[in-house]
Homo-oligomer: A and B are copies of this chain.
Amino acid sequence: MATDPTPSMIAEIIAVGSEMLTPYRQDTNSLAMTAELNKLGVTVAFKTILGDTFQHLVDAAKIALTRADIVLFSGGLGPTEDDLTREAVASALGVGMTRNETVVEGLKQRFAKRGLVIQEINFKQADVIDGAKLLPNPNGTAPGQWMATEYGGKPRYIALLPGPPKELLPMFVEQVRPRLQQVIPRLHIAYRWLRMAVVPESEVDARTSPIYLSYPDVSTTILSTGGEIQLHFLCAKPTLEEAQERVDEVLSKCEHEMMDSVFSADGESLEQVVLLMLGMRHLTLSTAESCTGGLIAERLTAVSGSSRSFLGGAVVYSDELKALFADVPKELIQKHGAVSDPVARAMAEGIRARIGSDLAIGVTGIAGPGGATLNKPVGRVYIALADAEGTQVRELNLSGDRERVRWFASQYALVMLRQKLLS
C-alpha cells in the first residue's frame, strides 16, 4: 500500500494533555507537523499521547530521546500546576532551568495593563531549560523552547511547543522548521497527489502499484476516503529538479493508467473541478434533490464563488414538492413510484426548465434505514443529468448506512456531471 524510501532522520511527536486521553478528543497537531517533517525528508516513527503526570512525562521524554533524532512536544507549557512539560524535559536531560527576566517583565506588564495582580505561578512560563532557546509566541502567552543537544552520545533536536493549534503551527513553521532545515542533511522535496472518485481502492492499487513500485525513491501512499481515492507521491533528492522530475514522472504514468477516474492532479476538490469546468464553458447548473436532501447544493455552495455557475435548486422530499418545484407529473409518480428512472428524469428536466439553467441534476432514492420496498432496496438511487440535448439517468445500488448512501449519491452525481462536461 505504501512505499517508503530510507529516511535521513526520524522524529517522535509527544502530545501532552489529559483531554487527549478521553473518548472525545484527539491529537491533531501531529498531522500538520508530520506533513512539514516529511517535506524535510524526516519520517515520524512514533507518536506518544499522555496526560499531565510528571513521572509519566519524564519517562516518555527519556524513551523518545533514546529512539528518535528529533523530539517534538506539544502542550503542557501553560501557567497552571498541570503544565509540566518544561520541568519534565529538564529532568529527563538532567539539567536545570533558569528564569528569563525579559519574559517575567513581559508577563508583569501584560497583567498590569489589564489591572490584574500576577500570581507567582505564572512566572513558570519564563523558565528556560538550560541550553535551550526561547521561541516567542505572538499568538499566546506561553513561549516555546528549542534545543540542540546530545543524549546517550547522539545528537538530539528538541522543541517544546504550546498545545493550541493556532499557536503551535505558526511557531513550528516559522521558528522550528528553519532550525531543523539547518541540521538536517539538505534534501529538496517534491510532492504531488492525484485524486480519483468512485473507483475501488483495490482496483487503483492493482493498476498503479506496478508503476509506483518501480520508483523506490518515491514515497507513495494510497488513501481511500468517502468515495475518493488519493495517491500521494513524495520524493527527496539533492536538487529540486531531480525530485520534481521523479514525482512528475510517476504521477503522470499513474494518471494515464487511471485516466477517466482522475479528477484532479493539482489538489482541487471534485466540487471545485466541476465548478471550474462549468465556469470555463459559461454553463449554469441547478439541482432537484430528494434523498440527498440538499447535500449536492450544500457541497457546491461550500465553494466560494460558486454562484457564478450554480444558480440554486430545490429540496423536494415529498411528492407534492416534486410537482410544485420541478413540475413532476403526479401520474408519473403514481405509475413508477417516486424512486424511479422516469421520476429522476422528470425532476432534472423540470428543475432545468423552471430555473432556466443549462444543466440540471435530479436525484431520487432510498437512503434508509426505512423506505425499502420489495423491488427497491435501501441504497437504490437514480441520478438524472439533463441538458439541451437530452437527459441521461444512472441507476445505483449503494451499500452502507444513510449517511454513506447520501454521500455516495452526491459523489456519483458530481462525477456524472464531470464526465458530461468532459465529453
Q: Which residues of A contact B (CB under 8 A)?
A: 1-2, 4, 18-26, 28, 31-32, 34-35, 38, 43-51, 53, 56, 59-60, 63, 67, 221, 223, 230, 232, 287, 289, 292-298, 300-302, 304-307, 310-318, 320-321, 324-325, 354-355, 367-370, 402-403, 406
Cα distance A28–B34 in the bound complex, in angstroms: 17
Query: A317 touches which one: B43, B56, B295, B312 (CB < 8 A)?
Result: B312
Q: Given A56-B67, A294-B295, A305-B370, answer yes or no on A223-B24 (Cβ-Cβ < 8 Å).
A: yes
Residues of B within 8 A of A370 (CB): 304-305
Q: Given A45-B56, A304-B370, A324-B354, answer yes or no on A2-B21 (Cβ-Cβ < 8 Å).
A: no
Q: Given A18-B4, A48-B48, A56-B67, answer yes or no on A315-B302 (Cβ-Cβ < 8 Å).
A: no
B318→A25 contact, CB < 8 A: no
B49→A35 contact, CB < 8 A: no
Query: A302 touches which one: B287, B301, B403 (CB < 8 A)?
Result: B403
Q: Given A325-B325, A370-B305, answer yes or no on A38-B51 (Cβ-Cβ < 8 Å).
A: no
Residues of B within 8 A of A56 (CB): 45-46, 67
Shortest distance from the beta carbon of A275 to any chain B beta carbon, whole Å: 12
Cα distance A324–B324 in the bound complex, in angstroms: 12
Cα distance A25–B1 in the bound complex, in angstroms: 13
Query: A19 touches which one: B2, B28, B305, B310 (CB < 8 A)?
Result: B2
B312→A314 contact, CB < 8 A: yes
Residues of B within 8 A of A24 (CB): 31, 221, 223, 230, 232
Cα distance A114–B274 in the bound complex, in angstroms: 42
Q: Given A56-B67, A314-B314, A402-B302, answer yes or no on A34-B21 (Cβ-Cβ < 8 Å).
A: yes
Of chain B, the residue at the smallest CB distance from A25 is: B223
Shortest distance from the beta carbon of A269 to any chain B beta carbon, whole Å: 13
Of chain B, the residue at the smallest CB distance from A35 is: B23
B314→A313 contact, CB < 8 A: yes
Closest 8 CB pairs of A and B: A293-B301, A294-B294, A294-B297, A23-B35, A47-B49, A294-B298, A312-B321, A297-B315
B301→A312 contact, CB < 8 A: no
A315→B317 contact, CB < 8 A: no
Residues of B within 8 A of A307 (CB): 317-318
Known: A294-B298, A304-B370. 14 other contacts (CB 8 A): A21-B34, A22-B221, A24-B232, A45-B53, A46-B48, A293-B297, A297-B297, A297-B315, A301-B315, A302-B406, A305-B370, A311-B320, A311-B321, A313-B314
Residues of B within 8 A of A297 (CB): 293-294, 297-298, 315
Of chain B, the residue at the smallest CB distance from A287 is: B315
Cα distance A242–B10 in the bound complex, in angstroms: 50
Cα distance A290–B223 in the bound complex, in angstroms: 34
Residues of B within 8 A of A20 (CB): 47
B38→A31 contact, CB < 8 A: no
A313→B311 contact, CB < 8 A: no
Residues of B within 8 A of A28 (CB): 26
Of chain B, the residue at the smallest CB distance from A19 is: B2
Residues of B within 8 A of A301 (CB): 292-294, 315, 317, 406
A355→B321 contact, CB < 8 A: yes
Q: Given A18-B2, A31-B23, answer yes or no on A304-B369 (Cβ-Cβ < 8 Å).
A: yes
Query: A312 touches which one: B26, B35, B53, B318 (CB < 8 A)?
Result: B318
Of chain B, the residue at the smallest CB distance from A368 is: B304
Cα distance A19–B232 in the bound complex, in angstroms: 12
Q: Given A50-B45, A312-B318, answer yes or no on A293-B302 (Cβ-Cβ < 8 Å).
A: yes
Shortest distance from the beta carbon of A343 to any chain B beta carbon, whole Å: 15
Residues of B within 8 A of A310 (CB): 317
Cα distance A296–B295 in the bound complex, in angstroms: 10
Q: Given A26-B26, A232-B24, answer yes or no on A294-B313 (Cβ-Cβ < 8 Å).
A: yes
Of chain B, the residue at the smallest CB distance from A403 is: B302
